[in-house]
Structure 1
């Protein structure tokens, strides 16, 4: 079915196909792990959190 093939090619070209979606989900999961590792020390040990600590917080790379 040509329309289905064209749609699959366009979603692949746009970076919105299944592989791109799964890769994005994996990046989100990894970022969440980074956030937990970073903030849990502050949350569960009552370690003070200042402006310098905020600058060290993980940032999400959406590429």
Structure 2
């Protein structure tokens, strides 16, 4: 799971880039499908991180 933080940072950076380009083009973020798809990808990585963390903590308490 050590690769998850690096993967998250890369995907978050991609989201920021897409968002910036969208704003520069005058396209609202909520209407930009690429931004929305990337945002969902970042959200999933956050969920994976917290699930992994919860499992790890559960194992520590045994």
TM-score by length of 1: 0.46
More helix by share: 2
The two structures have a TM-score, normalised by structure 2, of 0.47
